Structure 1
Amino acid sequence: MAGNVSGNPVTDDIVRLIYPDVKDVTPQLRAKVAFQYMNAEGRDVNCKNFVYNLKQRYGNGISALCMLFNATGSSLTYVGYRDWHGHIYESPYPSVIQNGQWGGFLHVHPSAWASGSESAVVYRGKNSAGESCDWMLAWGIPYVGNNHAYTEIREAKHYETDNWDYIKGLLEAKSTHATDTWNGCYSAVTIGQGTSPEFVGIMSLDGVISERSAATLITLAADSATEDKEDKE
């Protein structure tokens, strides 16, 4: 298992342990069990520790401590990113996040000038009908001003078209929490306050996670933030 993912995948065998009488394991059911395993076996803590260790090695400076959870019922594959300000630090974006796993990375501000961390990442997976879809998750930590989080889901390869200026505008108009539901898929993101906050995202299927549950869980997960008096240097 790569260091930037944590937790054993939630497979059909695990689903049958929870639901021994089920005959056909659907993506919806795998996604549901993955959500139940979100904090099991210390997988969330391991992901947080991995990202905070990256932050410690990086040191002072505006940065996003990013943690993404897959509760889609199938694997998610990294397909792209967009940096408006800053870049990923040391460890790459997780190439594959399997169902029930967390993926973590650190995104930092550019060192050459006074600027923040503002970026987006895209993962491809499948909805309940087996159709490929792209989950896009974006965050913004400006040098001056409030933090932002934004997410949306579209058809596969949608983000290969250069709509990034438009998306940047949507991101900067948002507050610290956003959700989207599209074509049977669901996504929720939250970012904390401060200059080096946690950015937490959940990628799932529509109907698996209640809006209240997702908001509560990722808000709790993103509640802490590190802010050093030198973080904007």
Structure 2
Amino acid sequence: MSHIVFGAPITDQTLKAVARIEGKDVTTFTALDRSRYTMTTRGDEKKEKKADTYLEKLRFADNVNGVECLVFNAIGGHLVLDSYQNWGGSLGSGPYPLTIENGQFGAFFHGMFDGTKESSGAVCYTGIYDIRTSGVGEWVMAWKYTPGTKPPLRCRAEARQKALYREGTKGAEEAWKKLKKDLETGSNYKHHNDGIMCIVGHIGYVDKEGKELDDPTSDTVPRISASMYLYNNNPSS
């Protein structure tokens, strides 16, 4: 179970090769170019399926109820794990992916260990969205799974250019507390666009055949996923 990221990184060399095949003479690309192309490759290399298989192995190895979590990086550069929260439950036998390259899926399983009655937590990943100014943004995915409640699974997703949740940021502790409260009392907030950065979260329930359903049944496993990408034109290169 050593692989926690799936898929080949998509770089300028990838886009150059595609341009040559299409007969285009293009040699320089922006982060937005890389992001837009990467969003078309989600189904390539069976990388999402490989991530699915990894999550299934984790879940069976840990043998507890919990949430399967997927992160798809399409920001045009790499994502780095900055911080995380465990409000209920904890990671299983697989770690959080520390670095997810552009075009890769990261995967982890968050379980209801030690008698906890929920799986609840969050991750904050950072990445450069503007190379010209070295602008570092943060992409945050939070979840709360409580079996027997309606809805049993909640999700919050945020994308920000300015630091709010990052380690060492003034007010970060209060921001995490507010996010936790919003997750518990508010509606799902699965799509956040700040004009340049964007994150789209998705809630689903996976059956024994690996098919994702919109509603839970007695034999489905909860899953949240988030696609992180660039939305608007920016000057990075």
Instruction: Specify the TM-score bucket, using the shorter chain as the normaliser.
Output: 0.7 to 0.9
Deviations 1:185-227 (A, max 9, x none): 000111224473121110101149xxxxxxxxxxxxxxxxxxx
Matching of residue 154 in structure 1 with residue 160 in structure 2: yes
Give the corresponding residue for 1:19: 19
- Residues 81 and 97 of structure 2 are in contact (CA less than 8 Å); yes or no, is this contact kept in structure 1? yes
**C-alpha separation in 2, matches of 1:140 and 1:112:** 16
- Residues 65 and 106 of structure 1 are in contact (CA less than 8 Å); yes or no, is this contact kept in structure 2? yes
**C-alpha separation in 2, matches of 1:196 and 1:118:** 15
1:89 alignment partner AA: G
- Residues 124 and 156 of structure 1 are in contact (CA less than 8 Å); yes or no, is this contact kept in structure 2? no
Pick the aligned partner of 1:190 from 185, 188, 202. Answer: 202
Identity in percent: 25
Structure 1 residues 109 and 34: CA distance shift in structure 2, 3 A? same
Matching of residue 174 in structure 1 with residue 187 in structure 2: yes
- After the TM superposition, list the runs of 4 or more consecutive aligned residues in structure 1 that deviate by more than 6 angstroms: none
Local SS of the residue matching 1:19? helix
Give the corresponding residue for 1:40: 44
Give the corresponding residue for 1:121: 123
1:211-226 equivalence runs, <5 A: none
State the 1:23 CA deviation.
Answer: 3.3
State the 1:82 CA deviation.
Answer: 0.8
Give the corresponding residue for 2:115: 112
**C-alpha separation in 2, matches of 1:206 and 1:134:** 14
Local SS of the residue matching 2:94? coil
- Residues 89 and 111 of structure 2 are in contact (CA less than 8 Å); yes or no, is this contact kept in structure 1? yes
- Residues 140 and 157 of structure 2 are in contact (CA less than 8 Å); yes or no, is this contact kept in structure 1? yes
State the 1:143 CA deviation.
Answer: 3.4
- Residues 68 and 221 of structure 2 are in contact (CA less than 8 Å); yes or no, is this contact kept in structure 1? yes
Kindly name which structure, 1 or 2, has the bigger radius of gyration based on alpha carbons: 2
**C-alpha separation in 1, matches of 2:231 and 2:129:** 9
TM-score, structure 1 length as denominator?
A: 0.81
State the 1:156 CA deviation.
Answer: 5.6
Matching of residue 49 in structure 1 with residue 74 in structure 2: no
**C-alpha separation in 2, matches of 1:91 and 1:101:** 17
Question: How many residue pairs were aligned?
Answer: 204
Deviations 1:131-184 (A, max 9, x none): 101111011101331111111122464213112221012223123x61111251
2:140 alignment partner AA: M
**C-alpha separation in 2, matches of 1:122 and 1:152:** 9
**C-alpha separation in 2, matches of 1:23 and 1:11:** 12
- Residues 76 and 125 of structure 1 are in contact (CA less than 8 Å); yes or no, is this contact kept in structure 2? yes
Give the corresponding residue for 1:100: 103
Local SS of the residue matching 1:43? helix
TM-score, structure 2 length as denominator?
A: 0.80
Which runs of 5 or more structure 2 residues have no equivalent in the other structure? 205-214
Which runs of 5 or more structure 1 residues have no equivalent in the other structure? 209-233
Deviations 1:23-59 (A, max 9, x none): 3211011111211221111111111111111011122
**C-alpha separation in 2, matches of 1:29 and 1:80:** 28
Pick the aligned partner of 1:204 from 211, 221, 229. Answer: 229
1:153 alignment partner AA: A
**C-alpha separation in 2, matches of 1:119 and 1:191:** 15
